[in-house]
A and B are shown apart, each in its own frame.
Chain A
Amino acid sequence: MNKKSRTRLLIATGVIVVVFVIGVVFLIQKQGAYYRQVSDLTTGQYDGKNVKVGGKVLDGTINRDSSGVHFTIQDLTGKSQTVKVTYSGQMPNTFNSGVDVVVIGKYASTAGVINADQLQTKCPSKYKGQASPAPTPPSAQ
């Protein structure tokens, strides 16, 4: 058995693994969104951070203009807080007033708006237990 080539292989493996792990951890730190409730946003500590928030789309708040769609969502845990959302991507085909949605994007606390780059609707609960991927959002590019 050739010890030298074995050592070389281990070193090459180590370098690849370390570089890869550092890259992945860096990406998750930088791009990962905190999963929070609407009511958590008012604490102010999420200003300018990526957040993922679930909420119910309030009736009569959906507006569309040249910059995209604007609507307001309400906390899902029974609290009264709401937050505005702006989104310009493709709408999921079950989006409407009253549905539960999950939005992911940067939160601006002064304007009280989440600039969402992802919008997902939850499957109607009646259809729980499907074996399939449910409506998914467009990729964020």
Chain B
Amino acid sequence: MIALGRIALALALVFSMASVLFLALGMRWDRKDLLRNGYYAVYAFFLTTVVSSAVLLQAFLKKDFGFGYVAENSDASLSTFYRIAGFWAGQQGSFLLWLLLIAVVAVVIALVDLNRLERLTGGAVMVLCVVGGVFAALMVLNKGSNPFVAAEPGTQPFGLNPLLLHPAMVLHPPALFIGYVGLSVPFAFAISTLLLGRGDKQWVSLSQKWAVAGWLFLSLGIGLGAWWAYVVLSFGGYWGWDPVENTSLVPWLTATALLHAFTLYKSRGLFKHWALGLAAATFFFTILATWTTRTGLIQSVHAFEKNPLLVWILSGFLVLTAAASSGLMAWRWRRFESHDQVESILSRDFLYYLTNLLLTLFAVAVAFGTVFVPLAMNKTVGPSTYNAIAQPLGVVTLGLIAICPLLAWRKTEGSELRKTIILPLVTAVLSVPLWLYLGFQSSVWGFIGLVVCGFAVGGVIQFVLHSARRAAGPGKSLWAGMGRAFTGSRTRTAAYFVHFGMILVVAGLIGSNVYKHEATALVKVKAGETASIAGYTLAYKGMTGNTGPQNSTRSFATFAVTRGGTQIGTLTPHTDVYPASGAAVRAVILGRPFEDLFVVADDPFDSTSKSIALRMIIFPLIRWVWIGSILLCVGAAVSLWPKARPQEQEARVTEAIADTGDVARPDGATA
């Protein structure tokens, strides 16, 4: 079976190169027969990739520990669910999953285009096959990256790292990879349209949905990772500005900017260079994320072995990506000049511009601090530096979300602004009692940030009301248009959800970072001993033990939690001792309406311990981060929902543009 997997993988490499050859020539000479043959090669590339993935999957399902990779990432005691997760628990399987996803996307695009055989699409599929070819070559050439290597004789299955035994950790890697692959589609179309020198908007129309889907899954992946870090890792937080986290955030930031650039590219032909640059940068950063995680060159908490061939291939691919995209952009620069432009500072156009600029700067700064500073300056920057950059930028970006709906396209009249700003001001003022009730006056900057959140909520409501009024038409009541405000344009409905979700996330980040407080106590192991923090009292009840997953021995210390004299719950922080990896303390969380009480032992304990070093942390508003993240994903899903009929779609787009300002034609001046 190992041989079958390996042969299929080698064939996948051959077929990916064959399709690149056919598609490149078909595109160059404008020959449909060559493009068609290229697509047939893509089908073969897809099928061979499916075969090799199926071989690896069946090895996990059948517990075939003759596969070195299966023995390294699972054992016989794991449930089917976690054995499947073993597929992407290591480097080799992650590359194979990535290859499979690229093949899926390439084949879907090729199937849809088989009857049209357009050069633009052919070129994009070619770029995807180049990317797939690089990953296939990596696995075929580099033994350390090949999942089809026989286990050394006598190898005992390692099992899965106990920290990864959590549903969020099973779903986190595939979500990230789907996000990365979705976001490589706009890059593929950008390269294709650059090669053809086509400055029109078709490449945007063809790749926009893929970009939104990629963004959705990347958001989901980052959110799941943060949630897992919070509930499993027990370090008292959810984001540590670790290189691995940072490099997944960077493409998310540029992808967010890309989605904004796309909307104005499509409607008015603005931000063409931005869209091309952001599509390329986003792809570059997804490869940089893999480079950072897999080469081990950046000092991270990961203990990866250095692997020269892997470093060379991935570094070479990064250089190729950067050189090809910037070279092509320089060559075709003038073909992508906009005929329209940002006219006034007081316009939505300018805020879109600022959004793109700030998100890009933030992304570059994080990438710089994560990769360049350690490599070139032999220094390292920590959370305090990233926080100092992220906090002001976060509040300014929130301000943009708040003000954007109040402004018109092109130019806003002062009288109009004075009218639209009333509602956000009201919600900002109304939010003040809530923040005071929660005791947030202890930090001036945090308070200002939260009041801006309150303001932004009004901005989103204003956005909905404005759309409803437009939809209702003159002389009708506002409520008549309310339904249309939500069903009119998918992109606009998505914006309500995503922007509201983003406000919740930012408020949650402010609450749980700025107002986080903690206390430690050495609690004697004796019933009735107590520890307290911020009105909560924890009383020790007793200790129990049991056997957990992977033969771990677990010790639970039970505490009754009371607040204001009434018991509100029990918490049982525990220590899990794994035969393979030693002791790990595990945190427990008591959720309250406006805050979480997070409790963990500082040191491992068991029934022989005399005392427990207890650490208690209050995380205000942290749930808003999770709820907001879900809303981000819901919003993106709304905009992906298929539309009823093409004609209807056109009508809605026209209406969506018309109702946001004075733009006459949906295509703008460049169509």
Residues 486-541 of B at the A interface (beta carbon under 8 Å): 513, 516, 518
Q: Binary interface profile of B, 587-598, with partner A (CB < 8 Å = 1, else 0)?
A: 000000000000
Q: Give Cα A100 to B378, complex, Å.
A: 20
Q: Is A23 at the interface (CB under 8 A from chain B)?
A: yes
Q: What residues of A have a CB within 8 angstroms of the CB of B233 in the complex? A: 93, 135-136
User: Which one, A13, A23, A32, A130, contacts B302 given CB within 8 A?
Assistant: A130
B581 to chain A, nearest CB (A): 5
A59 to chain B, nearest CB (A): 14
CB atoms of A141 and B513 under 8 A apart: yes
CB atoms of A130 and B584 under 8 A apart: no
CB atoms of A33 and B240 under 8 A apart: no
CB atoms of A16 and B357 under 8 A apart: yes
Q: Give Cα A57 to B475, complex, Å.
A: 76
CB atoms of A23 and B603 under 8 A apart: no
CB atoms of A93 and B585 under 8 A apart: yes
CB atoms of A140 and B383 under 8 A apart: yes
Q: Give Cα A139 to B237, complex, Å.
A: 8
Q: Give Cα A140 to B615, complex, Å.
A: 16
User: Which one, A117, A124, A129, A132, contacts B169 given CB within 8 A?
Assistant: A132
User: Which one, A6, A35, A137, contacts B374 given CB within 8 A?
Assistant: A35
Q: Give Cα A126 to B236, complex, Å.
A: 25
Residues 600-626 of B at the A interface (beta carbon under 8 Å): 600, 602-604, 613, 615, 617
Name the prevailing secondary structure of the B interface residues: mixed
Q: Is B242 at the interface (CB under 8 A from chain A)?
A: yes
CB atoms of B237 and A33 under 8 A apart: no
CB atoms of B303 and A128 under 8 A apart: yes
Q: Is A42 at the interface (CB under 8 A from chain B)?
A: no
Q: Give Cα A28 to B435, complex, Å.
A: 33
Q: Give Cα A1 to B340, complex, Å.
A: 8
Q: Give Cα A69 to B603, complex, Å.
A: 11
A138 to chain B, nearest CB (A): 5
Q: Is A58 at the interface (CB under 8 A from chain B)?
A: no
Q: Give Cα A137 to B378, complex, Å.
A: 20
CB atoms of B299 and A136 under 8 A apart: no
Q: Is A90 at the interface (CB under 8 A from chain B)?
A: yes
B157 to chain A, nearest CB (A): 12
Q: Binary interface profile of B, 290-314, with partner A (CB < 8 Å = 1, else 0)?
A: 0001000001111111000000000
Residues 88-141 of B at the A interface (beta carbon under 8 Å): 88-92, 94
Q: Binary interface profile of B, 375-410, with partner A (CB < 8 Å = 1, else 0)?
A: 001111111110111000000000000000000000
CB atoms of B299 and A134 under 8 A apart: no
A18 to chain B, nearest CB (A): 11
Q: Give Cα A96 to B604, complex, Å.
A: 9
CB atoms of A135 and B163 under 8 A apart: yes
Q: Give Cα A126 to B240, complex, Å.
A: 23
Q: Is A70 at the interface (CB under 8 A from chain B)?
A: no
Q: Is A104 at the interface (CB under 8 A from chain B)?
A: yes
CB atoms of A139 and B383 under 8 A apart: yes
Q: Which interface class (under 10, 10 to 19, 20 to 34, 35 or more) fits A?
A: 35 or more
Q: What residues of B have a CB within 8 angstroms of the CB of A35 in the complex? A: 299, 374, 378-380
CB atoms of A130 and B385 under 8 A apart: no
Q: Is B245 at the interface (CB under 8 A from chain A)?
A: yes
Interface size on B, residues (CB 8 A): 83
Given A24-B365, A121-B301, A135-B163, A126 and B293 contact (CB-CB distance below 8 Å): no
Q: What residues of B have a CB within 8 angstroms of the CB of A72 in the complex? A: none
CB atoms of A136 and B173 under 8 A apart: no
Given A5-B342, A9-B353, A132-B164, A90 and B382 contact (CB-CB distance below 8 Å): no
A86 to chain B, nearest CB (A): 15
Residue on A nearest B158 in the bound complex, by CB: A126
Q: Is A84 at the interface (CB under 8 A from chain B)?
A: no
CB atoms of B236 and A90 under 8 A apart: yes
CB atoms of A5 and B341 under 8 A apart: yes
Q: Give Cα A138 to B238, complex, Å.
A: 9
Q: Give Cα A17 to B324, complex, Å.
A: 25
Q: Is B225 at the interface (CB under 8 A from chain A)?
A: yes
Q: Is B565 at the interface (CB under 8 A from chain A)?
A: no
Q: Is B74 at the interface (CB under 8 A from chain A)?
A: no
CB atoms of A64 and B603 under 8 A apart: yes
Given A129-B304, A132-B164, A141-B513, A28 and B385 contact (CB-CB distance below 8 Å): yes
Q: What residues of B have a CB within 8 angstroms of the CB of A135 in the complex? A: 163, 233, 235, 301
Q: Is A113 at the interface (CB under 8 A from chain B)?
A: no
CB atoms of B584 and A94 under 8 A apart: yes
B83 to chain A, nearest CB (A): 16
Q: Is A102 at the interface (CB under 8 A from chain B)?
A: yes
Q: What residues of B have a CB within 8 angstroms of the CB of A33 in the complex? A: 379-382
Residues 12-63 of A at the B interface (beta carbon under 8 Å): 12-13, 16-17, 20, 23-24, 27-28, 31-35, 52, 54
User: Which one, A34, A125, A136, contacts B245 given CB within 8 A?
Assistant: A136
Most buried by A among B240, B344, B354: B240
- Which A residues form the contact surface with B (CB < 8 A)? 1-2, 5-6, 8-9, 12-13, 16-17, 20, 23-24, 27-28, 31-35, 52, 54, 64, 69, 89-94, 96, 100, 102, 104, 117-118, 120-141
A–B complex contacts, Cβ < 8 Å, 17 sampled = A5-B343, A13-B357, A17-B361, A24-B368, A32-B377, A33-B381, A33-B382, A34-B380, A35-B374, A91-B603, A93-B233, A93-B585, A122-B302, A126-B580, A126-B581, A131-B89, A132-B163
For the A-B complex with A16-B357, A128-B302, A140-B384 known, give 8 more contacts whose Cβ atoms are closer than 8 Å: A5-B344, A28-B379, A32-B381, A69-B602, A102-B301, A132-B164, A132-B244, A136-B242
